[in-house]
Each structure stands twice: as C-alpha cells, then as structure tokens.
C-alpha cells in the first residue's frame, strides 16, 4: 500500500528524529524491552527499544545503561573482539564502538531511514555483515571504512539471522522458509531446500557437522551439513524460537523462546548465564507483537 506523500514525509521526519536523538535514561533498565545481547571479554551488552544499551560486569546480575546516540529500536549487537563492536537497529542505524562499549558512534554504512537492520556479524579480521528487512545485506571488509550493498538470496524477504560456522561458512535464516549458505563470505549464496515455509530465526552449525534450523511455532529441524536432507526435532511448546546454542558437543541444544529456555536433552539452565539475558535474543519479535509476554503465533 502506498502512503500519501504527507504520511511518508511525516514518517521520514520521525525516523530522522529518532536516529539523531540520544536515548533517555530508563528508571529500571533490567525491565526494558531487550532484543539482543553479546559478550565482549568480561562484559555483557544488551540492546533494545528506545535506543537502550545496557552493560553488565557480573554475568547479568546487575545492569547499567550506557549512553546511546539514538532513541530508535536497536535489534542486534556483535563484537569483533573485546574492543570493537557493532549495533544495528531500525531507521538504518548502525553504531560502532572502538573502546569496548564505553562509547558508541554512528558508522558510515550506506543505510537510509527506511532500512531496518535485524542482525549484524563482526569478525576479528575486521569484516562486518549487516542484514535486515526486504533483503538488506551490507558488507565491510575494512572495519566499516567502506561498504558494499550486496544481493541477498531472497531479495524481498526479511533476513533475520546471520552467523559464522567454525568452517568459515556463513549461515543465513529468514522469512518464508529462507535458509542459505555462503562459502565466499556473502559473494554468492546457496539456497537450501526448506523444510518449513514460515519464518526461521536461526541456522546453527553443530559440532557433528549437522545444521539446526529454528523458527516460529516451535519449529526445529536437523539437517545434513549442506542442508540437502532435514528431519523435524520436536520440542515442547509452540512459541517463537529465537536463538539456539550447543552446550556440549553433540549432547545439548538450548533454544530460547520469548519466555522460556528449552533444551532437547535436559531442562538445566545454561551455566553462568541468566534466563533474562538469554531472553534478549528475540531478534525481531517486536515485529510480531511481543511486548514481554507470550510470543505471537503468527505465520511470518
């Protein structure tokens, strides 16, 4: 649907305002709507609505708010090492730190206020990838000095999660059953035969070489290394499965829905990490109606 010119102009002005206005201090930062988290050495960082950036030095027991140059929703965070990190968000926001998260500045990424970044991946060699709504795919090979806007495997679909396998293969998950691999750092993509037509929120490479894909309605699938064959791996519940980790090689897979920690083989919590921190990984759940309660069971 096309917006009237006046509505479009109003939306654009609002986007510009949010991406240029510093975040305000929130009275209870631990209760803020948080959408992603990352570790940088001994420090934990979490990001979310209204430009909130939180940090913790005690394994997530206590959080304090960091100064943020924007007040738009921040959806994703990744660190290349203990000092260099990136935060992405709505309205084309992509922030950079070079001082271990003590301060954050807008980067020179070629985004527009209409762009929504949904995940970012930074690697120790200075490479950065950012993905988002409607096939947005950006790459920098020089720690953000210059950027390329690349072709995505699904041009008009939301790309939800990008990760790097130990082999160096990029793993991509998105809506409408999108799963893809890249063996040349996003130059070309291999679309996988999808076992599910709904949204995927992650594609994980396991120690035994298998792939694990997870998404809406509790859907989890185990696949061969190149994704040629898939089999369902049922979990209790039917919520949005936003992230997954392998706790021990070939033994435990932990997946986080919006409100619950679910494991395939044991109900134990991840040692040293609080449930509240894990729940921040609901990458784009705000688009599905999540406001701190049960996940929406929509089909996107």
CATH number at residue 216: 2.130.10.10
The Cα 189–Cα 272 span in angstroms is: 36
Query: 259 in a domain, yes or no?
Result: yes
Round to whole Å and give the CA distance between 160 and 182: 16
Residue 131 placed within a domain? no
Based on the fold, state whether residues 105 and 195 are members of the same structural domain.
Answer: no
Regarding whether 160 and 117 lie in a shared domain, the answer is: no
- The answer to whether position 132 is within a domain reads no
Same domain, 95 and 190: no
Neighbouring C-beta atoms of residue 157, cutoff 10 Å: 18
Residues 231 and 114 in one domain: no
Residue-level pLDDT at 280 = 37
Q: Residue 81: how many CB atoms within 10 A of its CB?
A: 13
CA distances from 206 to 218, 233, 244, 251, 282 (A): 19, 14, 10, 10, 21
Q: How many domains does the chain have?
A: 2
The answer on 42 and 2 residing in a single domain is: yes
Residue 281 counted as domain residue:
yes
Residues 240, 217: Cα–Cα separation, whole Å: 6
- Is residue 211 in some structural domain? yes
Task: Report yes or no on 36 lying in a domain.
Answer: yes
Contact 292, 285 (CB under 8 A): no
DSSP letter assigned to residue 262: E
| 160 in the same domain as 113 | no
What pLDDT is stored for residue 22 in this prediction? Answer: 81
The residues pairing with 132 across neighbouring beta strands, listed in sequence order, are 117
**Domain residue limits at 8:** 1-123
User: Which residues are within 8 A (CB) of 118 and not within 5 positions of it... i.e. 6 or more apart?
Assistant: 75, 76, 88, 131, 132, 133, 158, 159, 160, 161, 283, 284
Residues 157 and 100 in one domain: no
300 within 8 A of 216, measured Cβ to Cβ: yes
214 with 263, same domain: the answer is: yes
- Cα-Cα end-to-end distance for the chain: 18
Separation CA 187–CA 174 (nearest Å)? 18
10-residue stretch averages of pLDDT, the chain, 300 residues long = 45 49 75 83 90 88 90 94 96 96 94 95 96 96 95 88 93 96 95 92 88 87 87 74 70 44 35 39 28 30
Same domain, 98 and 194: no
The pTM of the full predicted model, rounded to 2 decimals, is: 0.79
81 occurs within a structural domain = yes
Are 82 and 163 in the same domain?
no
The span from the CA of 193 to the CA of 287, in Å, is 26
Given a contact cutoff of 8 angstroms between Cβ atoms, the answer to whether 100 and 41 are in contact is yes
89 and 35 assigned to the same domain: yes
On whether both 92 and 173 belong to a single domain, the answer is: no
Cβ neighbourhood burial of 288 (10 Å; 0-12, 13-18, 19+): middle
Confidence (pLDDT) at 4: 53
Q: Is residue 145 part of a domain?
A: no
């Amino acid at each position: 649907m096309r917006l009237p010119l006046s509505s479009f102009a109003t939306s654009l002005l609002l986007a510009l305002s949010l991406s240029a206005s510093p975040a305000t201090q929130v009275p209870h930062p631990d209760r803020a709507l948080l959408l992603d988290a990352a570790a940088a050495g001994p420090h934990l960082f979490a990001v979310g609505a209204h430009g909130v950036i939180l940090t913790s030095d005690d394994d997530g027991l206590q959080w304090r708010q960091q100064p943020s140059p924007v007040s738009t929703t921040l959806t994703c965070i990744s660190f290349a090492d203990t000092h260099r990190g990136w935060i992405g968000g709505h309205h084309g926001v992509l922030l950079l730190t070079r001082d271990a998260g003590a301060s954050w500045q807008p980067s020179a990424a070629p985004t527009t206020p209409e762009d929504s970044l949904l995940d970012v991946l930074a690697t120790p060699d200075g490479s950065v990838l950012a993905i988002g709504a409607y096939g947005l795919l950006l790459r920098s090979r020089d720690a953000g000095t210059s950027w390329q806007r690349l072709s995505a495997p699904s041009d008009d679909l939301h790309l939800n999660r990008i990760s790097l396998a130990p082999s160096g293969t990029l793993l991509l998950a998105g809506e409408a059953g999108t799963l893809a691999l890249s063996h040349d750092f996003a130059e070309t993509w291999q679309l996988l035969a999808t076992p599910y037509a709904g949204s995927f929120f992650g594609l994980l490479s396991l120690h035994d070489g298998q792939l694990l894909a997870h998404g809406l309605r509790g859907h989890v699938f185990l696949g061969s290394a190149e994704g040629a064959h898939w089999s369902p791996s049922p979990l209790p519940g039917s919520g949005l499965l936003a992230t997954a980790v392998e706790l021990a090689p070939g033994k435990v897979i932990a997946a986080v829905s919006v409100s619950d920690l679910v494991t395939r083989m044991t109900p134990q919590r991840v040692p040293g990490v609080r449930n509240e921190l894990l729940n921040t990984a609901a990458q784009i759940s705000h688009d599905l109606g999540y406001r701190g309660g049960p996940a929406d069971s929509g089909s996107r």
